A = this chain, B = another copy of it.
Amino acid sequence: MFSQTEENYLKCIYLQLEKNAQSLVTTSVISEQMKTTAASVTDMLKRLSGKKLIHYKKYQGVLLTKSGRIKALSIVRKHRLWEYFLVEKLKFQWDEIHAVAEQLEHVASELLIDKLDVFLGRPKFDPHGDPIPDHHGKLSLHRLKNLSLLKPREKGKVAAVVEQDPDFLKHLERLQIQIETPIKVLDKAEFDRSMTISINGSGTVNISYDIAKNILIGK
């Protein structure tokens, strides 16, 4: 029905809309994310628009149509279910899974993904803390606070990570920070916005703002 390339573009547009609160997604943002030229993006936007998957206004940007959103959610669902499988069943590290899931998400079989979902126990969140859309495209939402915004004495558990680059994830691993790890803010420095935190009740470390702002905390 759709090519892998079309699926990747749709997913990219969906993820950008999620991140930037529904404002139009621009050609340049897509070309940066997809690592292609703006010209290629324009070509693809015309194609997706022709298939009624996006609303495209020249020079302005794009939004997903109803059917575009449904398709995008199904790809995100596959991606995150496979990531869960890779970590929980095959014992991958959370920094190794993205590239593999990037391919697995394109395997087209409703039966496969339904059976995989059952096999995994219908998980609600992937290894990065991102919600896994259910069969109907519904997402479990939990409101999370950005670690960088917590005040001294406040605490919670790591629920998700914003940045998912392997290097960042490996860095968190070295700090012994994973999903579900309890964190407590001990102190904040105003000038560089760095903070001292206690990890898992024991390890006390100072982390930069660049680290803190990419960690999301839940109750």
Give the B-binding residues of A (Cβ under 8 A).
86, 89-92, 96, 99-100, 103-104, 106-109, 111-112, 115-116, 119
Q: Which of B100, B106, B108, B119 contacts A112 (CB 8 A)?
A: B100
CB distance from A133 to the nearest CB of B (A): 20
A96: B residues at CB distance < 8 A: 111
Query: Cβ of A109 and Cβ of B115 under 8 Å apart?
Result: no
With both chains docked as a complex, state the minimum distance between the C-beta of A41 and any C-beta of chain B, in angstroms: 23
Residues of chain B within 8 A (CB-CB) of A106 are 103
What's the number of copies of this chain in the assembled complex? Answer: 2
CB–CB B107/A103 < 8 A:
yes
A sample of 13 more A-B contacts (CB under 8 A), given A99-B109, A100-B109, is A86-B115, A90-B115, A90-B116, A90-B119, A91-B115, A92-B111, A100-B107, A100-B111, A103-B106, A103-B108, A103-B109, A104-B104, A107-B107
Closest 10 CB pairs of A and B: A90-B115, A103-B107, A100-B109, A100-B112, A90-B119, A104-B107, A89-B119, A90-B116, A91-B115, A92-B115
> In the complex, which residues of chain B have a beta carbon less than 8 angstroms from the beta carbon of A115?
86, 90-92
Q: How far is the CA of A112 from the CA of B218 in the complex (A)?
A: 32
Q: Which B residues touch A90, using CB under 8 A? A: 112, 115-116, 119
Write the chain B residue with the least CB distance to A109.
B100
Q: Which residue of B lies closest to A106 (CB)?
A: B103
Residue in B closest to A116 when the chains form the complex, CB atoms:
B90
Sample 18 A-B pairs with CB under 8 A, ordered by A number. Answer: A86-B112, A86-B115, A90-B112, A90-B116, A90-B119, A91-B115, A92-B115, A96-B111, A99-B109, A100-B107, A100-B109, A100-B111, A100-B112, A103-B106, A103-B108, A103-B109, A104-B104, A107-B107
